[in-house]
C-alpha cells in the first residue's frame, strides 16, 4: 500500500466500569458479543470494504488485570469507506441496533460510556514501520508484498 490522502483512523471505546451489576450484565450479554462479532469481521474480512486493519482490545489496569474498558481501533481507506460501513453494513447495523436497544431500555440512567475518536491524515502525515513482524501485522495486511 502506498500512502494516500484521507487515510482514516477511528478509535471507538466502551467503558462499563461505572455500571451496576444488572446494567453491566445487559451490556456484556446483549451488546458486547455483537460488537465483538463486528470487530472480528473488520479484522478478518474488512479489507474488501476499505478497512485496512482492525484490532479490538481490552484495556489493562495498572496492575495488569483486565479492566472494564475496551476499544476498537481501525485504519480505513477513507472516511467515506468508514461511513459506508457504519450506515449500511449488516455488522454495524447489528452493533447500532444492540446499542440502541440497550440505551432505550436504560434511558438516562445508563452509566455506560462510549466514545469515538476519528483522524483523517494526508499522505505526507503517515509513517508506518514494522520490524520483524509477520506479513499480516497491522497495516501490512493491506500491502501487496513480493518475496525478497
Q: Is 100 helix (H, G, I), strand (E, B) or coil?
A: helix
Sequence-separated (6 or more) residues with CB below 8 Å from residue 46: 52, 53, 54, 74
Looking at residue 141, its pLDDT comes to 82
Looking at residue 142, its pLDDT comes to 83
Specify the DSSP element, H or E, that contains 102. Answer: helix 90-106
Looking at residue 114, its pLDDT comes to 96
Distance (Å, whole) CA 32 – CA 14:
9
Dihedral sign, Cα of residue 75, residue 80, residue 86, residue 88: negative
Looking at the annotation, which residues are catalytic?
116
Three cell numbers, residue 34: 455483537
DSSP letter at 110 equals -
Which strand ranges, in their side-by-side order, compose the sheet holding 113-121?
51-60, 66-76, 7-15, 113-121
Question: Which domains does the chain possess?
Answer: 7-142 (3.30.70.100)
Looking at residue 1, its pLDDT comes to 61
Q: Is 38 helix (H, G, I), strand (E, B) or coil?
A: helix
Tens digits of per-residue pLDDT, 80-122? Answer: 999 999 999 999 999 999 999 999 999 999 999 999 999 999 9
For the cut 80, the answer to whether the pLDDT of residue 44 exceeds it is yes
Query: Do 52 and 2 touch, CB atoms closer than 8 A?
Result: no
Amino acid at each position: 500500500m502506498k500512502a494516500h490522502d484521507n487515510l482514516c483512523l477511528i478509535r471507538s471505546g466502551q467503558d462499563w466500569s461505572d455500571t451496576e451489576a444488572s446494567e453491566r450484565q445487559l451490556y456484556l450479554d446483549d451488546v458486547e458479543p455483537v460488537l465483538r462479532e463486528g470487530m472480528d469481521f473488520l479484522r478478518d474480512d474488512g479489507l474488501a470494504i476499505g478497512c485496512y486493519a482492525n484490532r479490538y482490545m481490552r484495556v489493562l489496569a495498572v496492575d495488569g488485570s483486565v479492566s472494564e474498558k475496551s476499544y476498537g481501533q481501525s485504519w480505513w481507506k477513507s472516511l467515506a469507506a468508514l461511513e459506508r460501513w457504519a450506515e449500511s453494513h449488516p455488522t454495524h447495523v447489528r452493533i447500532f441496533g444492540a446499542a440502541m436497544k440497550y440505551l432505550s431500555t436504560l434511558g438516562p440512567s445508563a452509566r455506560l460510556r462510549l466514545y469515538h475518536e476519528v483522524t483523517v491524515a494526508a499522505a505526507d502525515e503517515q509513517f508506518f514501520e514494522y520490524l520483524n513482524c509477520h506479513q499480516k501485522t497491522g497495516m501490512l495486511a493491506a500491502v501487496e508484498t513480493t518475496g525478497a
